[in-house]
């Protein structure tokens, strides 16, 4: 799915660790969103940052971005838009760092909580094109099914996890097993089908489990 220009996508647990020579507490403040704010899944939010009283900052960055935040002369804040990933739920940390005119670096962090919107029926349900036919080489190999749903409001997001109401069933659990979140595990040699349902929508993935190739043997495609 294409990213809107100028908008960064924030993934669950993707905040990077940064090391600084100096990180004075309170030198920079995240104005918005507030710590503990609740936002809907897939939302676009504006991060706003300002210096603490008596300090000046000439650059501010999101911790997982190399692009500096833009200064808004009307609000006096450094700002940047981000879009939360459509499959991210629960607490998501947002971290910023800044540098003032003396070269001193500081950081600030808040956590937002991503909730599901009211349940909406899906318009369509599909499995990622590369996974409509799965080949697993050897017992014990696993694969995460990527299930995609389209909603009436036009949004398209991954709905693989059970929290989205997606249900999985293996037609032959002696060949493959699948857990509540779509993780497929090979347990025997052969072919079978995985049924994926969400509401009144249903799709299938054909799965083949082959013996694991011997070392030096080429895999068949």
**Of 28, 90, 35, residue with least CA distance to 59:** 28
Residue 161 shares a structural domain with residue 109: no
| Interval 71-128: pLDDT, tens | 888 888 889 988 887 667 788 899 998 887 787 888 889 999 887 766 668 899 999 9
Whether 32 is in a domain gets the answer yes
Residue 107 shares a structural domain with residue 15: yes
Whether 85 is in a domain gets the answer yes
Domain boundary among 83, 115, 147: 115
Out of 3-7, 117-121, 170-174, 181-185, pick the least confident.
3-7
Give the separation between CA 79 and CA 48, rounded to whole angstroms. 5
| Interval 4-52: pLDDT, tens | 444 454 443 333 333 333 444 457 889 999 999 988 877 888 999 888 7
Domain boundary among 115, 138, 159: 115
Omega of the bond prior to 33 within 30 degrees of 0, cis?
A: yes
Residue 47 shares a structural domain with residue 67: yes
Query: Number of folded domains in the chain?
Result: 2
Domain boundary among 115, 144, 163: 115
Through-space distance between the first and last CA atoms of the chain, rounded to whole angstroms: 27
Query: Domain holding 87: CATH number?
Result: 2.60.40.10
Computed on alpha carbons and rounded to an integer, the radius of gyration of the chain in Å comes to: 23
Residue 89 shares a structural domain with residue 43: yes
Whether 3 is in a domain gets the answer no
Whether 158 is in a domain gets the answer yes
Residue 182 shares a structural domain with residue 97: no
Residue 42 shares a structural domain with residue 95: yes
Position 10 scores a pLDDT of 47
Residue 92 shares a structural domain with residue 136: no
Residue 18 shares a structural domain with residue 108: yes
Residue 25 shares a structural domain with residue 70: yes
Whether 162 is in a domain gets the answer yes
Residue 111 shares a structural domain with residue 132: no
State the residue range of the domain holding 94.
8-115
Give the separation between CA 52 and CA 98, rounded to whole angstroms. 11
Position 156 scores a pLDDT of 87
Whether 215 is in a domain gets the answer no
pTM of the model: 0.52
Instruction: Characterise 168 by phi-psi region: left (phi > 0), alpha (psi -120 to 50), beta (else).
Output: beta
Residue 13 shares a structural domain with residue 105: yes
Residue 95 shares a structural domain with residue 13: yes
Give the separation between CA 128 and CA 157, rounded to whole angstroms. 12
């Amino acid at each position: 799915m294409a990213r809107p220009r100028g908008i960064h996508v924030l993934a669950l647990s993707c905040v990077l660790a940064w090391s600084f020579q100096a990180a004075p507490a309170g030198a920079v403040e995240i104005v918005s969103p507030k710590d503990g704010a609740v936002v809907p899944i897939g939302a676009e939010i504006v991060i706003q940052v300002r210096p603490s009283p008596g300090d000046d900052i000439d650059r501010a960055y999101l911790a997982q971005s190399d692009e500096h935040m833009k200064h808004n002369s009307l609000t006096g804040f450094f700002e940047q838009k981000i879009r939360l990933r459509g499959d991210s739920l629960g607490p998501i940390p947002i971290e910023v760092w800044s540098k003032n005119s003396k070269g001193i670096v500081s950081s600030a962090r808040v956590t937002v909580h991503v909730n599901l919107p009211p349940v909406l029926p899906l318009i369509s349900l599909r499995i990622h094109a590369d996974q409509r036919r799965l080949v697993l080489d050897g017992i014990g190999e696993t694969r995460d099914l990527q299930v995609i749903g389209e909603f009436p409001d036009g949004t398209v997001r991954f709905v693989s996890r059970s929290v989205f109401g997606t249900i999985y069933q293996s037609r032959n659990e002696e060949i493959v097993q699948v857990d509540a979140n779509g993780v497929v595990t090979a347990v025997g040699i052969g072919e079978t089908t995985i049924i994926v349902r969400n509401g009144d929508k249903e799709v299938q993935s054909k799965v083949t489990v082959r013996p694991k190739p011997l070392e030096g043997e080429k895999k068949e495609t």
